[in-house]
Amino acid sequence: MPDPLKRTAAFAATLTALYVAHEIGDHWVQTNHQAKTKGGRGEQQRAGQLACARHVAGVTAAKVAVLAITCKTLGLKLRPGRTAAALALDAATHYWADRRFTLEDLADALGKSDYFNLGLPRPGHDDNHTLGSGRFALDQSFHRTMLWAAALIIAGGAE
């Protein structure tokens, strides 16, 4: 029978590693071009898809590296299949959210449109020079929820 304390410790270590790696990948590894282009639609759709895929590859690479360092340092043994499945789920949902219109559609469906648009620059102006927008908050909240799910999947198979 699996030791619940081991799985709890694995969950805590895994979630922490994934969260830190997410911050690194989403903010330090992501290029300015990826950030500006990944939501492209219409004539910019293909460029947006490629930029988003490259961004997600960078975020996922950061997660693999930080998770590997964490496991090596703590002597944590994770099941490769579960870990790969969890990282694939995280990558797919990260891509989905970062195409932007998808997350906006979800916010609309949940009655969160006003919050999603809170803090955006006025049309024709560049008057919000912070990341303090509802769009950013909902984006990061979505990603953190997926990190939590990935950590549960990974830790559920910890030995």
Residue 10's pLDDT is 94
Both tokens of 58, joined, read 């960078």
Identify the band that residue 127 occupies on the pLDDT scale cut at 50, 70 and 90. Answer: low
- All structural domains of the chain with their residue ranges: 4-155
The residue-averaged pLDDT of 120-128 equals 68
Phi-psi region of 27 (alpha: psi -120 to 50; beta: other; left: phi over 0): alpha
- Predicted local confidence at residue 131, as pLDDT: 61
Give the phi and the psi of residue 42 in degrees, each rounded to 5: 60, -125
How sure is the predictor about 3, in pLDDT bands with cuts at 50, 70 and 90?
confident
Q: Which pLDDT score, from 0 to 100, does residue 75 have?
A: 94
Contacts 24+ apart (CB under 8 A), 144-147: 144/19, 144/22, 146/89, 146/90, 146/93, 146/94, 147/15, 147/18, 147/19, 147/22, 147/90
Q: How far apart are CA 19 and CA 2, in angstroms?
A: 25
Task: State the DSSP H helix or E strand holding residue 117, giving kind and residue range, or none if neither.
Answer: helix 113-117
pLDDT of residue 117: 84
pLDDT tens string 47-89: 999 999 999 999 999 999 999 999 999 999 999 999 999 999 9
* Listed residue (132, 136, 149) closest to 92, CA to CA: 149
The end-to-end CA distance of the chain, in Å, is: 10
Average pLDDT, integer, range 147-153 = 97
Q: How far apart are CA 103 and CA 135, in angstroms?
A: 9
The rounded percent of the chain whose pLDDT value lies above 90 is: 79
Q: How far apart are alpha carbons 150 and 1 in whole angstroms?
A: 22
Model pTM score: 0.89
CA separation for the pair 57, 87 (Å, rounded): 11
